[in-house]
Chains A and B, each alone.
Chain A
Amino acid sequence: MKLQQNIRWIFGSLILLNGLLVASTPTVLFPVCKSGGVRMACYYTKQAEIGLGAAIAFIGLLLLLIQKREIRIGLSLSLLPLVALVIVYPTYLLGVCHSNSMSCHVGTLPALKVAGSILVVITLIYLRLLTRKEEEHVDRR
């Protein structure tokens, strides 16, 4: 029971922090190019990532607060498409500036890919831990 609670705290906090990381990557950590008059692709990617990051952080918070395992499994599953979008927005759907001398191309894009891939790994490990408990539970019955 204690282990389960620890796992909930650790993974909930990790997902919450990663959500904040996603939101702060294009704004604070690796800011996208400054748009003057014309808004470039990276501007829209930034807006989308802020929204995604906030949603992921909110799910992380719920994962911290909610005790019921089934709900946590559902929340973790709902994270997967959001995490996929973290990577897909800057690479395919919205993109960033094309020139490799632009800060969004060399900084924001790889940072978002790394943040997204970390989240994928964390979510999959969490799901594995949650469903493994389920298997053990069924076995015991």
Chain B
Amino acid sequence: MWIEGKEVWKRIKRNHTSTILFLLPIALFSWLVFGGILVDASLSRGMKKLEQRLGADMMLVPQGQAEQAEGFLLEGARGSFYFHQNIEDVISKMEGVQEVTAQFFLKSLSADCCTSEVEIVFYHPETDFLLQPWIESQIKDGIKENQVVIGYAIEPENGKLRLFGQSYDVVAKMAETGTSLDKSVYFPFSALKEVLKTAKKKGAFLTDEQEKEALLSTVYINVLPGYDTSKVLEQCHKQLEEPFDVVYPRKIQSSMGEELNGIYTLLHGMIWIGGALLTALFFLLHMIFAKSRMKEVALLRIFGVTNGSIRNMLWTENLFLCLIGSGLGCLFGVWFIYPFGHYIGMVLHMPYLGPSGLEMLLQWVYTIGIVMAVGCLASLYPTWYVFGKEPYIALRKEGEN
């Protein structure tokens, strides 16, 4: 079998034109399948993470900031918008409210830890229900003023993070979201005063609004199961003195789901149509080469080589080509599609979370499997066709031509 493999390899190397003609559609097909699977899996992974992230029924933001807040939910880029009153306490006492938590954003401040800017968020550890599902390890003793929770893309040094010249203990790291949230640092609200003071001392630019301490950026509300969200909203309109806008994260999620279904249909359609066309092309190429090799096969049969050995040789050649072609196709997929993951997400306005190394390897194996199966199927009839004519007829026909 090994010697046969070596012979086949020699044949493949010798027949440049036919090898290239076979490899091109196989590589193109593999590229299409691999790229499709890669984008498909990354979008659905991003969507799953989004579902987990949009874990509130309602989100209140200052008036006129709804659009920016939606952008924050989808892409994780925070804005500098603030409530001037502590509305969290008022809402928590309303009827039908199950849980309320608030956050304060300090948008994009440069940090000693990182080459890029980080987004600083202050949150209430006691009432929080948004961060905890994202924290990979549980915080056992609560979070203190000199401690932080960091996003996935931030690398601490010896368990510490330096920010505005101060060192903070990292108590937990969040899971990957594929958005700007990965570059966030989370402080408890109790550290707000101290962090703002240090930031100002170190020359960070703070707006007048940011310097006032009792501010909130957003308030997240979960209503009791079965309770009408509009009734809670009515109470908010009556009791809150400050004007606000409402964003419904779960509604965004369902509309995103619909959009994603459309993208999936398009993507799957492209893979199926492209796959069918390339399989047909592959079949045609096999037929053309089967016809051109009839004389060779006939001679081998006359010289006493068994049909089984010839079939083995043809199959091995086909498998070799499929393996090389699909390997190349996947390599091109990694080369040309993988680096543009975030760009695809940005263009589609969808959360995009690329695969890990192991997942990509599995996708690679899966693609090679599909391509080899399709390649074998496409060569079934041509291989049978080669043996369809008696050697002397095949030789005579070649002679006549």
Give me the interface of A with B, judged by CB distance under 8 Å: 30, 98-101, 103, 105-107, 110-111, 113-114, 117
Contact = CB atoms under 8 A, between A and B. Distances in A.
B336 A99 contact: no
Contacts of B117: 98-99
Closest 7 A/B residue pairs (Cβ): A98-B116, A110-B339, A106-B342, A106-B343, A107-B343, A101-B77, A110-B340
B346 A103 contact: yes
Interface residues of B, number: 15
Interface of B: 75, 77, 108, 115-117, 180, 183, 335-336, 339-340, 342-343, 346
B115 A98 contact: yes
A97 B232 CA distance: 42
Contact of A100 (B335, B340, B342): B342
Interface of A is mostly: helix
B335 A114 contact: yes
A101 B346 CA distance: 8
A125 to B, nearest CB: 14
A113 B339 contact: yes
Nearest to A95: B115
A117 B335 contact: yes
A98 B108 CA distance: 11
Contacts of A106: 340, 342-343, 346
A110 B342 CA distance: 10
B180 A100 contact: yes
Nearest to B339: A110
Contacts of B343: 30, 106-107, 110
Contacts of A110: 339-340, 343
B16 to A, nearest CB: 11
Contact of B339 (A98, A100, A114): A114
Nearest to A98: B116
A101 B68 CA distance: 14
A107 B339 CA distance: 9
A114 to B, nearest CB: 6
A106 B115 CA distance: 16
A113 B341 CA distance: 14
Contacts of A111: 339-340
Contacts of A98: 115-117
Nearest to A101: B77
Nearest to B182: A100
Contacts of A100: 180, 183, 342
Contacts of B342: 100, 105-106
Contacts of A103: 346
Nearest to B115: A98
Contact of B336 (A105, A107, A114): A114
Nearest to B338: A110
A45 to B, nearest CB: 15
Given A106-B343, A110-B340, 5 more contacts: A30-B343, A98-B116, A98-B117, A103-B346, A114-B339
Interface centre among A99, A105, A117, by most B CB within 10 Å?
Answer: A99
Interface centre among B108, B117, B343, by most A CB within 10 Å?
Answer: B343
Contacts of B116: 98-99
26 contacts: A30-B343, A98-B115, A98-B116, A98-B117, A99-B77, A99-B108, A99-B117, A100-B180, A100-B342, A101-B75, A101-B180, A103-B346, A105-B342, A106-B340, A106-B342, A106-B343, A107-B340, A107-B346, A110-B339, A110-B340, A110-B343, A111-B340, A113-B339, A114-B335, A114-B336, A114-B339
B110 to A, nearest CB: 9
Contacts of A113: 339
A105 B180 CA distance: 12
A56 B178 CA distance: 35
B233 to A, nearest CB: 30
Interface centre among A100, A103, A106, by most B CB within 10 Å?
Answer: A100
A10 to B, nearest CB: 13
Nearest to A100: B342
B180 A99 contact: yes
B253 to A, nearest CB: 20
A67 B339 CA distance: 37
